[in-house]
Amino acid sequence: AQTVTQSQPEMSVQEAETVTLSCTYDTSESDYYLFWYKQPPSRQMILVIRQEAYKQQNATENRFSVNFQKAAKSFSLKISDSQLGDAAMYFCAYNGGSQGNLIFGKGTKLSVKP
């Protein structure tokens, strides 16, 4: 069975600094999809970034980028120029593609200090 592990329950970053959130996963599939979602206190799940496993190039979305290491089964999220609005729970998620459902890690709570 596939699993997703986020080893950092909480992280803190100074405003305007850079922070990296870690995620590892376990799968025997070769094609799959990885996501980072953000959940602020409003509880709305917001897509941050998506990575297809067959793509070697790391995905980027403005201040958000990933470091995807397929062989190591690692998928970390880097947030540059952190803003107060980035404070939230961040969940790493895996989709094997056949059933369509997401398997989530336990989440990392990110605090941003002014």
- Residues near another protein (CB under 8 A): 33, 35, 37, 42-47, 50, 91, 95, 97-107
- Let me know: does 108 contact 6? Beta carbons within 8 Å: yes
Whichever of 28 and 99 has its CB closer to another protein, that residue is 99
Assess contact for 5 and 94: CB atoms under 8 A: no
What is the closest distance, in whole angstroms, from the C-beta atom of residue 100 to another protein in the complex? 3
93, 34 in Cβ contact below 8 A?
A: yes
Q: Report in angstroms how near the CB of residue 6 gets to another protein at its nearest.
A: 9
Q: Closer CB to another protein, residue 25 or residue 35?
A: 35
**Burial zone of 73 (CB within 10 Å; 0-12 exposed, 13-18 middle, 19+ buried):** middle
Smallest distance from the beta carbon of 94 to another protein, in angstroms? Answer: 12
Taking the least distance from each CB to another protein, the nearer of 75 and 107 is 107
State CA 68 to chain mean position distance.
Answer: 10
Closer Cβ to another protein, 54 or 69, answer by number = 54
